Structure 1
Amino acid sequence: MERILVVGVTGAGKSTLARTLSGRLGLPYHEMDALYFDGPGWAVNSRLTEDVSRLVGEPHWIIDSLGHPDDTAAWLAAL
């Protein structure tokens, strides 16, 4: 696996799983919330499309998000 999108509902553990996979697989991890919000007061990143396009163009990555995967996905649901 070279590209992994970890998806799930809020609070399901997406970030925890993505960070763990990143460490074990040696793949770079990118948190979608950190990419989406980039300023004070939850300001939205005006360069989000460009930033995400650049990251997903890389050969290896793990991203956590609510999304529609085109690559390997690990879906988490809170119980």
Structure 2
Amino acid sequence: HLAAERGAVEDIELEEVVITGFRNIRCVESGGPEPGVGCAGRGIITAINFLEENGAYSDVDFVSYDVLGDVVCGGFAMPIREGKAQE
């Protein structure tokens, strides 16, 4: 909801959303749209693009995504289709 507060994802700095946890594992919670409003899949691709554009993947060995398992819209398949994730 930080992007909604700021007005756009471009107004957010990487350091504001990346938290370093146990054993230096970096974590990001991207959130999602209000229930019944928008497409969560679109939020996922927006979050991944933001992380890529701001260098979040530049020095990591492994990336894991934990996303909803149900497919309400086609948006959840977008990261896989665009080569940003593997099934």
TM-score by length of 1: 0.30
Q: Which has the higher helix share?
A: 2
- Which structure has the larger Rg? 2
TM-score by length of 2: 0.29
Q: Which has the higher strand share?
A: 1
